[in-house]
Chains A and B, each alone.
Chain A
């Protein structure tokens, strides 16, 4: 079975030299059966040929419904999973092909903020120890007094009282814990941070604070973010560009405003029409596009375009040919033969 790899034209995606370039990334998890003779009966195609680039200082949003593979993309970039195929080029080196022993340096450049602030901190460690451990292990700051000062500074940067260093995670609220998670990620001076649903477990008011913090940090330290989320309003607020994923593939990738104002892919249109508008008259006048059916199993995805069984605009070609992500207008990539007018 050959699946066309959707390799984007990187020059059109970002003007600057990309910090991160993902090319044809695939991650298939084997599904095994049988008690004695383990046979692989199929693969869950969590990520199936994803390509994008991220420029220095840029935030790329990655949206899509649950199970579409967006978290797996993040984990592959972090090398928490070993990608099955494709390239993840970070600052000129291919992460995907790295040996385990070479990854240590990468760990300082690429960091992660997790979704759940309650399980992402070790409950047996004090906050100060959580933040200073990377500094100690990587030998970034060897002097214990200076290390304590740095921890206090990181806590201040993240809007926490430096006295929190002596507390345990269970003594803090969700928002405070998430700030600790951010401080931990910052401790190694990363260039790139994967925010895996970093705000979706928080209250709305806390979400806003954390998002503002992430934006401030981006301006201050010139990070790039891969912002994985399913909340479209959050994505619109923080991201420069947005990629929409469906069933392991990127359906559409465009500048943030362009994508929200002028969505092209039928899936993106459906996704955006599901977001309520806070004006009742506008909301009533709007045409809602409700998708029929369920998301197909990623173990046995539909032929051709994976979206075609639910797509209101599907034509015969969609059933047979796997659409490639192609440029619709400058910087606006769509994987849909109907939109591209074929």
Chain B
């Protein structure tokens, strides 16, 4: 069962990239398998190219978000005391905002384009990861090899990066894969709201918006296919995250 899930994920994850390369070689509008949009652009090609935007934003935001979260969480747990309390309260404040509202606010401050969108999606992810990582790091901190590292006179940075962080890889990778789906969804939402990636860059959220506003009845394919693409991508990454959890949990792996 588990191995089947693992392989299914890998198929789901690598497909968009394979298609990506195939589409790059074809001229758009040569083969309209998904129809064309209002400007005569091939939807299939735009979806495939949109996958690029989604992957770029999704991967960058998820990796940055979970890595920064890892550092914040481990540091907070390692130092404890008032450092921990302060960091945790800041995280509480960030978690209290719905992440899409927080992302919107950041985009408005920073302006539009791919870079600001990545920052806007990354920041709401950090506190979620930091909180999960902190709880794992609190347990790791009490294990004697951390004491051994302290007794060796290693610096705080070395202990955090080399001795605690590598031992929190399991929750970190699970958070990372979960964030991939979330980040893609957030990117699509921002684009849909008109605050994400701008035309003419192909992005699923943008396609959904232009399709849904005017042509939902006369040309439903303009809405359906980008929507399906978003759902499949998020679903695929969630499956991948599930599989990661199974692989990384030694109790499940033994079965």
Contact = CB atoms under 8 A, between A and B. Distances in A.
Contacts of B150: 80
Given A124-B167, A137-B158, A103 B153 contact: yes
B147 A80 contact: yes
> Chain B interface residue count: which class?
10 to 19
B252 interface: no
Nearest to A108: B153
A111 B151 contact: yes
Q: Is the interface of B mostly helix, strand, loop or mixed?
A: helix
A112 B151 contact: yes
Contacts of A335: none
A108 B152 CA distance: 7
Nearest to A196: B144
Contact of B143 (A80, A119, A138, A184): A119
Contacts of A106: 153
Interface string B144-158: 110111111111001
B144 A107 contact: no
A116 B146 CA distance: 13
B200 interface: no
A123 B151 CA distance: 18
Contacts of A121: 145, 148
B112 interface: no
Nearest to A111: B151
A302 B164 CA distance: 41
A287 to B, nearest CB: 40
Given A114-B147, A137-B158, A122 B167 contact: yes
Most chain A CB neighbours (cut-off 10 Å) among B149, B155, B169 = B149
A184 B148 contact: yes
B156 to A, nearest CB: 10
Contacts of A122: 145, 149, 162-163, 166-167
B163 A120 contact: no
Nearest to B165: A124
A151 interface: no
A181 B148 CA distance: 9
Interface in A42-79: 78
A133 interface: yes
Contacts of B152: 107, 111, 133-134, 137, 184, 188
A104 B151 CA distance: 9
B130 to A, nearest CB: 21
A107 B145 contact: no
Contacts of A104: 153
Nearest to A100: B156
A112 B155 CA distance: 17
A123 B167 contact: yes
Contact of B151 (A78, A119, A137, A138): A78
B153 A120 contact: no
A188 B162 CA distance: 19
Contacts of B169: 124
Interface string A114-135: 1110011111110000000110
A107 B145 CA distance: 15
Most chain B CB neighbours (cut-off 10 Å) among A104, A122, A123, A138 = A122
Interface in A184-231: 184, 188
A107 B148 CA distance: 10
Contacts of B155: 137
Given A133-B152, A134-B152, A124 B166 contact: yes
Interface in A18-64: none
A110 B155 CA distance: 17
A125 B158 CA distance: 13
Contacts of B149: 122
Contacts of A134: 152-154
A130 to B, nearest CB: 9
Contacts of B167: 122-124
A78 B147 CA distance: 10
A80 B151 CA distance: 7
A70 B153 CA distance: 22
Nearest to A129: B162
A31 B179 CA distance: 40
A114 B148 contact: yes
A116 B144 contact: yes
A255 to B, nearest CB: 29
A137 B143 CA distance: 21
Closest 10 CB pairs of A and B: A107-B153, A124-B166, A120-B144, A114-B144, A122-B145, A104-B153, A112-B151, A134-B152, A119-B143, A119-B144
Interface of A: 78, 80, 103-104, 106-108, 110-112, 114-116, 119-125, 133-134, 137-138, 181, 184, 188
18 contacts: A78-B151, A104-B153, A106-B153, A107-B153, A112-B147, A114-B148, A115-B144, A119-B145, A121-B148, A122-B145, A122-B163, A122-B166, A122-B167, A124-B166, A124-B169, A134-B152, A137-B154, A181-B148
Given A114-B148, A133-B162, 6 more contacts: A107-B152, A112-B151, A119-B144, A120-B144, A138-B153, A184-B148
